[in-house]
Structure 1
Amino acid sequence: MAPDTHVETVLDSFTDGETRTHIELTEDFAAHNYHPLRVVLAHGEGAWVTDVEGRRYLDCLAGYSALNFGHGHPRLLARAHEQLDRLTLTSRAFYNDQLGPFSRDLAELTGKEMILPMNTGAEAVETAIKVSRKWGYLVKGVPENQATIVAMEGNFHGRTTTIVSFSTDTVATAGYAPYTPGFRLVPYGDVEALEAAIDDTTVAVLLEPIQGEGGVIIPPEGYLQQVRALCNRTEVLMVADEIQSGLARTGRTFACDHEDVVPDIYVLGKALGGGLYPVSAIAADGDVLSVITPGTHGSTFGGNPLAAAIGREVVAMLSEGEFQKRAATLGSYLADGLGELVGQGIDEVRVRGLWAGVDVSPDLTTGRHVCEQLLDHGILAKEAHGQTVRLAPPLVATEEDLDVLLAAFREICAS
């Protein structure tokens, strides 16, 4: 196999045998579609993980918010083990005794009448796109093959061919043309541009209430309410991708809750599987989801008994409200600590719940370099778009855990 300079660079600083072995195996036999930090993780509990050399790290990425409840939450593990011993998969060719209760409970949590279960977040976004288009043809009366969806610049909704067709990230789109038509892009947070993009062919506005991959970008205050009002006025579905922002991450059950906005379609994933299993879904009222009929959409694994059992336990945990309160309280603590560092190598901090985007000064360093320095301090984090470090510790973290994170940032800024 030809030498890989990327692998050589990753391993330059390594003498640890087991770490080196695992990195070499991964780089030799797995496609290089990620650029991981130089750590090989082997165990996790709560907000902490341990690598193959026995070093511990505070996980401040939490699987891009898939691990809101931490690694190996006892309630989720117990429910998964119980279901593993009973039944894991039937396909939707038959009913199972877990999907109905899960659907009912998730519908109640979202305030919607129905759900449509899938597996991954990207599948849920694709499902929302399909439902929106079909609703546009059958209910709104858009002429066949003319439906359009308005999305936001800087978005991240997944990596399927259709989804990257309306991405503004050239790394995600290069080499994948021809792109799927039917999408229009407008600047995030600009209601006037959004209104100008909507016409009689528009079936949906698709947006993230907070743009996570974009660097935890929070829209202007009142923006979501304005979008909701505009969608009502123009008979367009408001579709909220809450895959990263939802399920207690921002201090409320959904990020839309911060503006008392209820979208027509919730798109959910990541934390819905508790960090144990891929579980996703869209939630909407019957007048929207009724356009889906037998054979028009489906998934072999979507709604399987194991997924439904885990998802239902996640919903039960969220219904108690503890995690929402923890995210709000810990988020305030984190915001105060990070805010003190603005002007000391940090240009801006954006925090909503226990989710933060930290913009490091381009005159001094890059987000990637800061993440590498954080790794040396026992902190796992990931950069976004060059200068931003994203922070999303599990909601089971403590103030003492956040003190470790803040101390690392202070030391890095001081150096």
Structure 2
Amino acid sequence: MGLFGRARNLIKGLATTPEVGIQHFNVVCPLGHRVRGQRTEGYQALRCPACGEGVFVLPASPLPDPGPRLSSPSGRRNVESGATSRVVEEGPIELHDPGEVTVEIADALPHPDAEISWEDDAPSRSARTPDGAAEPPADASPSKVARARPAGRPPRPSVRPVEPEPDRDPTPKGSRRREVPQGGVVEVGVRGRRRSGVRPLQVFAIVALLVVGTVVYRVWSTRRQGLPQVAALGRDEGIPALEAGDFDKAYQLLAPAKQAVEALGGEVEGADRIRQAADEASLYVGLAAAGLEELLDEAARTNPKSWASRFDDQHRGRGVLFDSRIRSTPDGPEGRYEIDYVVLPTEDAGSFRAGGSRPERSARIDFRDFELFALAKPQVGDHVVFGARLAAIEFDAGSNAWVVRLEPRSGLFVQFHEALASLGWPEAALSPPTPEPGDEP
């Protein structure tokens, strides 16, 4: 409310004087007698008709009756604590006999704001004389000595202010003090903020997971519905492209066709042919740029350490093709698989095949741990056309010869011979005549 509003309320209050009705008081004396009567314009210091104790009654208020008072322990305590600091001792007040009052015995004494300690051991507070009269302390001044009570009146219970316990923490300034009920101890803890069961972040995460799961399921379902068409496309167009020597197109069609066959569990027409054609197309698109003879010449002219690094960068994993016969098996005297093919230097290969002596530098194919032969178990004299990927070309000091090593799981038998014809292999080489025993390769 602003300054203008306050001035208007002040003028309105001065203009209309409220009518003050009859006001009554209802107080209880220290011994529990309830005294009722009518308030006057001045205060009243009355004597209780029943016991003679003094009762102080406030004068009538010029303000209108505010209605029943609401209990506010904290507010009453604050007012009284501030009022006690302004009390000025003015000496005893003369008591008067009341006029028309009503006296009743109260059911119970009202609870004071401060805790009252009743001491039954009266001699502990002051020493008594032999005749029973209380003797005041020696250091007490005459003005502070209590007046003697009339004979026959019961003694007034002494009220002692409550001292704070030394082990209890004082109430922080500005905070409201809580009343501790008698007969028990109440522990008040800081109550944390109640959190809701589901947080917005959790809801967002759940919704995001549902959306992602739905999208993945729809993509997978749509892709699965198109898998038979992908497999059929590889069978109908990929295999003819492989036989025609168009290895890039064949690989682009047959690689996804093989994946479709695997995803469908092989329940596709021509599933085995699709797998075989896809493997051969993968081998053809990764053939080595040079033959084994050229690689042997390069290895012999290069430092072994630098050659190993160059081989790993340029030739490892490249495909090679073989068309030969089985010369030895693990059951034979060699104790390993051997084929009728020896890698010779380019300049010496012609003279050796013409019946000349074997050159000093040559390389053999190492089929140790080669799974294709371990599973197929070819016999001596079997004609094999197969492909594999290079693992190493290195010099074996134990046998004093060069060795060509193949990746153990990279071998496959060639079934689409039309692809070899497109590479320039003669058709006679695909089915060479079986050599007679004792013939040199």
| Same fold at TM > 0.5 | no
The alignment's TM-score, normalised by the length of structure 1, stands at: 0.21
Structure with the largest fraction of helix: 1
Larger-gyration structure (1/2): 2
